[in-house]
Amino acid sequence: MRDRRGWAGAPLLVRTAPVTTPLVGVATVLALAVTLLGGLSTLLRRRIGQAHLVGAAALELVLVVQAVVAGVALAGGHRPVELPTFLAYLGTVVLLPVAGVLWARSEPTRWAGTVLGVAAVAVAVMLWRLLQLWEATRG
Amino acid sequence: MADPDAGARPGEDHALGGPAAESISTDADTARGPGRVLVAVYGLFAVAAGARATVQLTWQFDEAPLAYLLSALAAAVYVVATVGLARGGRAGRRTAVVACTIELLGVLAVGTLSLADPAAFPDSTVWSGYGSGYGFIPLALPVLGLLWLRHQSEVAAEQAEERAVEPGQNSPPKSPPPKSPPNSSPPPA
């Protein structure tokens, strides 16, 4: 706390409000990119490739960061009104890209990309619900 | 420099993925191809509806018992449909047809009731307003599911017919099992 400048900017944002609109925005953009890539592969009659894996990995990274900072904030006393629902969303959203990639990789037809896209769309939708749940701290 | 493994890893030799396997419509399998997308969406709804019903029944049951019990029913139907579609086969298809039919009737009944008598549904369920809270996917899912299952049982029936036409099932002659027609397998690259 002595070095206040070190906490300025992005770290301050993360420290005070872990599930934030910017973080959710970045994750949403990544999720939509993965969705588009998946749809493109299906349209081009291709399986999934490097681009999908990289996109999904980037998305997963942001989601894990979000889960960690949210966990720290929860430990620090932040209490969303619907805590069980919030935790369920937080856990599921981290698992979804992994499940999507695993299942898409074992699909030999062009529908692999769509499977990954379904998971990514679900992540995007759940993130905004997560944001609502996080901000509702008082009934 | 050519990658010697490029042909062996068709899924990874392009950023956008290698060429996909051709249509699998000769193989009756409810969890392959478009079916896998269906199973993925059904699985999502099974998890979403199940989690929602658990929360509602555990912490808020007194607020709207009817709506929350319907939530739990919806969750159970999604789980059964997911398992049926994922397992496939005659039994899996039959299970999934029953689940999808109940699902279709449920979403129509609950959707109509929730609009006609909103007081009975103070808190929304997956099927309220024909699934409007979930982008009407709950209304489209059972229809797509039943169409896919009908297609799959037609494919399975054709396969059974072909198998019946082939003579001598238990005495395999010179040729390997008739899984792939000879003209569909390309020469090794």
Q: How many domains does chain A have?
A: 1
DSSP state of B186: P
Q: What is the pLDDT of residue B178?
A: 52
The reply to whether A10 falls in a domain is no
Domain coverage including residue A71:
21-135
Q: Which of B36, B52, B56 has the highest number of chain A CBs within 10 A, making it the mutation to test binding with A?
A: B36
Q: Which of A37, A49, A84 sits opposite B11 (nearest CB)?
A: A49
> Would the CB atoms of B21 and A108 count as touching at under 8 Å?
yes
Residue B170 within any structural domain of the chain: no
**Residue A46 counted as domain residue:** yes
Cβ–Cβ under 8 Å, residues B38 and B81? no
Q: For residue A6, is it within any domain? A: no
Residues forming beta bridges with residue A46, ordered by sequence position = B19
Work out the angle at residue A11's Cα, subtended by the Cα atoms of residues A9 and A15, and round it to the nearest 5 degrees: 120
The answer for residues whose C-beta is within 8 angstroms of residue B10's C-beta and 6 or more apart is A47, B18, B19
* Residue ranges making up the domain that contains B117: 34-155
Question: Per-residue pLDDT averaged across A89-110, rounded?
Answer: 94
Q: What is the pLDDT of residue B141?
A: 96
Tokens found for residue B19: 């060429």
What's the pLDDT at B2?
44
Q: So what's the pLDDT on residue B28?
A: 67
Q: Which of B62, B90, B107, B65 is nearest to B149 (CA)?
A: B90
Q: Collapse the DSSP code of A57 into the 3-class scheme (helix H, G, I; strand E, B; otherwise coil) and give the result.
A: helix
Q: Among A77-91, A100-114, A124-138, name the most confident range.
A: A100-114
Selection from A104, A95, A94, A93 nearest residue A52 by Cα:
A104
Let me know if residue B10 belongs to a domain: no
Q: Tell me the per-residue pLDDT of B136-163, one tens digit each, with 9 for 90 and over.
A: 999 999 999 999 999 999 999 998 888 8
How many beta-carbon pairs under 8 angstroms link A with B? Answer: 87
Mean pLDDT comparison of A44-48, A135-139, B1-5, highest-scoring range: A44-48
Mean pLDDT of all residues belonging to chain B: 81
Cα–Cα separations (whole angstroms), residue A90 to A54, A74, A87, B149: 22, 12, 5, 34
Nearest to A42 by CA among A99, A116, A102: A116
Number of structural domains chain B divides into? 1
The mean pLDDT value for B76-102 works out to 95
Interchain CB distance below 8 Å, B11 and A111:
no
> Is residue A69 assigned to a domain?
yes
Is B11 a residue whose pLDDT tops 50? no
* Model confidence pLDDT, tens digit, residues A38-68: 999 999 999 999 999 999 999 999 999 999 9
Residues of B in contact with A85 (CB under 8 A): 51-52, 55
Interface pTM (ipTM) of the complex? 0.82
How many residues does the structure list for chain A? 139
pLDDT value at B176 more than 60: no
Residue A12 counted as domain residue: no
B44 with A37: Cβ contact below 8 A: no
* Chain A interface test: which of B37, B39, B42 (most A C-beta within 10 Å): B37
Question: Do A119 and B40 count as a contact with CB atoms less than 8 A apart?
Answer: yes
Contacts of B55 in chain A (CB under 8 A): 82, 84-85, 88
What average pLDDT score do residues A112-122 get? 96
Which residue, chain included where needed, has tokens 């191809």?
B33
Distance of alpha carbon B136 from alpha carbon B143, whole angstroms: 12
